[in-house]
Amino acid sequence: MNIHSLDEANAREIAGWHYDSPYDFYNLNSNEIEQSVQYFLDLQNNFYGIFEEPRKFVGYCSFGKDGQVPGGNYSTPGLDIGMGICPNLTGRGRGRCYVAAVLNFAQQMFAPAIVRVTIAAFNQRALQVWYGVGFHSVDTFEHQYLGVPFIILVRETDHVSKA
Ligand SMILES: CC(C)(COP(=O)(O)OP(=O)(O)OC[C@H]1O[C@@H](n2cnc3c(N)ncnc32)[C@H](O)[C@@H]1OP(=O)(O)O)[C@@H](O)C(=O)NCCC(=O)NCCS
């Protein structure tokens, strides 16, 4: 598995993904495809593609503000990570593998002291993966606009080698 920059075709693919319920929460607005594509390609948003050999696009990850959810308290230092795997590859037991690759990439690119993710409380599948690689919850809050509960999880860098 390797991680590198996204191209426009990858960005369009992400914009068209449709997750089944309850993960349809992550589906993007089909009326805003162009805006979504531009957002993924904007270098300031730090989006990267996750690829399986040789160049099969399987998902994306993002670093920084994109991983923050409105209403959360991000006043302490930490590298926020966002990620998504292509819907038809989810739920196959490979979550830890994808997350480990993203964490290794984050370490190489940004060398953060603390990595952080913000996960919807209903999303037990994602929570299971992040807890499984050593993250622990530090805060819960409701989305500022949607009222949906979220959990902030962190992990100190000295755990990275255990991913
Ligand atoms: C979150 C994500 C990376 C997880 O990867 P995945 O390959 O789908 O996850 P897995 O199939 O490995 O499942 C992870 C774990 O959750 C468990 N699980 C699956 N569905 C579950 C459910 N409904 N309730 C509780 N646990 C569940 C699995 O048994 C597995 O447990 P294990 O690691 O102990 O074996 C991926 O689903 C994804 O990108 N989802 C869409 C976007 C998203 O959810 N984003 C949230 C931020 S990461």
Residue tagged 């991680």 (tokens): 3
In this prediction, the residues of the chain whose per-residue pLDDT falls under 70 are 158-163
How far apart, in whole angstroms, are the C-alpha atoms of residue 119 and residue 154? 11
* C-alpha distances in Å from residue 149, one per residue of 70, 71, 76: 11, 10, 20
Q: pLDDT at position 162, please?
A: 47
Residue list, ligand 1 pocket, CB within 6 Å: 19, 23, 26, 83-85, 90-96, 98, 119, 123-126, 128-129, 132
Write out pLDDT tens, residues 37-47: 999 999 999 99
**What letter represents residue 34's amino acid?**
E
* Residue 155 burial (CB count, 10 A): 23
Q: pLDDT at position 134, please?
A: 97
Q: pLDDT at position 103, please?
A: 97
- Ligand 1 centroid–CA 149 distance in Å is 18
Which CATH number characterizes residue 52's domain?
3.40.630.30
Number of separate domains in the chain? 1
Bridge partner list, 98: none
Q: What ligand 1 atom has the least distance to the C-alpha of 92?
A: 11
Q: What residues make up the domain containing 99?
A: 2-162
Q: pLDDT at position 86, please?
A: 98
